[in-house]
Chains A and B, each alone.
Chain A
Amino acid sequence: GNSVTQMEGPVTLSEEAFLTINCTYTATGYPSLFWYVQYPGEGLQLLLKATKADDKGSNKGFEATYRKETTSFHLEKGSVQVSDSAVYFCALSDRAGGSYIPTFGRGTSLIVHP
């Protein structure tokens, strides 16, 4: 079956530091990959996505590249801000059994200090 593995959190950084959150996946088919973000008290929001190998998704300074050879989709940002403090979820969706049900990792909490 499908699964997503994320690095354990919390990740604690100072403002303007470089961020990497690792994500690897297992899928039966050829999945699309997503990063979602959940700010305190809010629902999950799509941050970025990539649909095929070597695609790079980007949004709000965050980037992730679909690496089929390493089954990875690591999230990066060059300079984090306090407002980036949230929980980040890696997810995949593929056509297993004819449906595209998103499968999520357990989430990685990011805390950014001023």
Chain B
Amino acid sequence: DTGVSQDPRHKITKRGQNVTFRCDPISEHNRLYWYRQTLGQGPEFLTYFQNEAQLEKSRLLSDRFSAERPKGSFSTLEIQRTEQGDSAMYLCASSLDRDVAEAFFGQGTRLTVV
């Protein structure tokens, strides 16, 4: 297993368009997280899955954002009607289902809304 992979690495879209990102976690990891990172900031939590169940969502996650993890494997993050403020790096991370389990991150998808 080569770690957490995200696709695409870069996405440029026009304002108002919908975009979807994919994350493939490390295969034995039950937990999956999405974060958003803007320049000069740390990762901000968006949402969390335990297997296929979406257990937590941040208040940052407006109703234009939706995430899924069908069958508890890969996950998708969709942003509808993109806005310029959505421009950021979107990070996916996964971890084992243990009390102290470090998160392993993908390289991220950089979204630019023009």
Are B100 and A107 closer than 8 Å at their CB atoms? no
Query: Binary interface profile of B, 33-51, with partner A (CB < 8 Å = 1, else 0)?
Result: 1010000111111001010
Question: In the assembled complex, which residues on chain A have CB atoms less than 8 Å from the CB atom of B95?
Answer: 100
Are A46 and B42 closer than 8 Å at their CB atoms? no
Question: In the assembled complex, which residues on chain B have CB atoms less than 8 Å from the CB atom of A91?
Answer: 42
In the complex with contacts A43-B91, A43-B108, A44-B91, A102-B42 CB distance below 8 A: no
Contact of A100 (CB < 8 Å), options: B42, B43, B99, B108: B99
- Interface size grouping (class) on chain B: 20 to 34
Interface residue tally for chain A (C-beta within 8 Å):
25
Are A97 and B56 closer than 8 Å at their CB atoms? yes
State the B residues within 8 Å of A (CB). Answer: 4, 31, 33, 35, 40-45, 48, 50, 55-56, 91, 93, 95, 99-108
